[in-house]
């Protein structure tokens, strides 16, 4: 079936009327429309822009992590410990689950944080083979300052939208993410179009 006649046909044969003159995604779409008019490239309007936005946001967030001498992963570990509440400790496996990384990657992060004096490791009282990771006093002080700075930075970025735009985007992203996380979505190919 010709994709131009399908219900998913590209509704924008040219650049989107609201696109910025420097909109790289619109230019890429226009080139693909010229080269492959038989393929619906309309998904790039959303996926391509989200992919670019994610990269830009990550770069902006790293500014704060760098300010405190932390990588993104290390910041995540400190935040997971801080969110645990007093005595600000969790098992390494629990930390890995909270930050969605492998236990091997978590061990490397904990090693770096321990060398910096921000966390300690001790044996669990219940199981001498198990370990517990806890914030040190300097680690607690650092994450409290870094997190407050991080939230100010996120507010700065989100304030580029109106309150209504922000609320609408939150609703859309929450719904989309829930559908992506559903078991049936797990066997779909991942990654943005190029």
Which pLDDT score is estimated for 96? 87
What region does 45 belong to: left with phi over 0, alpha with psi -120 to 50, or beta?
alpha
Q: What is the pLDDT of residue 129?
A: 64
What separation, in Å, do the N-terminal and C-terminal C-alpha atoms of the chain show? Answer: 23
Q: Which long-range contacts (CB under 8 A, 24 or more apart) does 120-123 make?
A: none
Q: pLDDT tens, 53-92? A: 999 999 999 999 999 999 999 999 999 999 999 999 999 8
Do the beta carbons of residue 54 and residue 42 sit within 8 Å?
no
What CATH class is the domain 68-146? mainly alpha
Mean pLDDT, residues 132-150 taken together = 97
Rounded to an integer, what distance in angstroms lies between the CA atom of residue 173 and that of residue 169?
6
Q: How confident is the model at residue 29 (pLDDT cuts 50, 70, 90)?
A: very high
Mean per-residue pLDDT, 17-42: 84
> What CA–CA distance (Å, rounded) separates 191 from 125?
44
**Cβ pair 75, 65 in contact under 8 A:** yes
């Amino acid at each position: 079936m010709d994709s131009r006649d399908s219900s998913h046909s590209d509704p924008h044969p040219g650049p989107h009327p609201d696109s910025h003159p420097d909109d790289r995604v619109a230019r890429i779409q226009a080139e693909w429309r010229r080269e492959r008019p038989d393929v619906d490239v309309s998904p790039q309007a959303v996926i391509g822009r989200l992919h670019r936005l994610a990269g830009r946001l990550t770069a902006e967030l790293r500014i704060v992590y760098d300010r405190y001498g932390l990588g993104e992963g290390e910041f995540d570990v400190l935040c997971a410990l801080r969110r645990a509440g007093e005595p600000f400790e969790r098992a390494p496996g629990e930390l890995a689950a909270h930050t969605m990384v492998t236990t091997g990657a978590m061990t490397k992060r904990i090693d770096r944080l321990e060398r910096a004096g921000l966390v300690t490791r001790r044996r669990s009282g219940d199981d001498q083979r198990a370990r517990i990771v806890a914030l040190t006093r300097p680690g607690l002080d650092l994450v409290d300052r870094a997190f407050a700075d991080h939230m100010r930075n996120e507010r700065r970025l989100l304030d580029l939208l109106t309150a209504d735009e922000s609320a609408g985007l939150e609703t859309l992203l929450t719904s989309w993410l829930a559908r992506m996380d559903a078991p049936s979505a797990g066997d779909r190919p991942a990654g943005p179009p190029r």
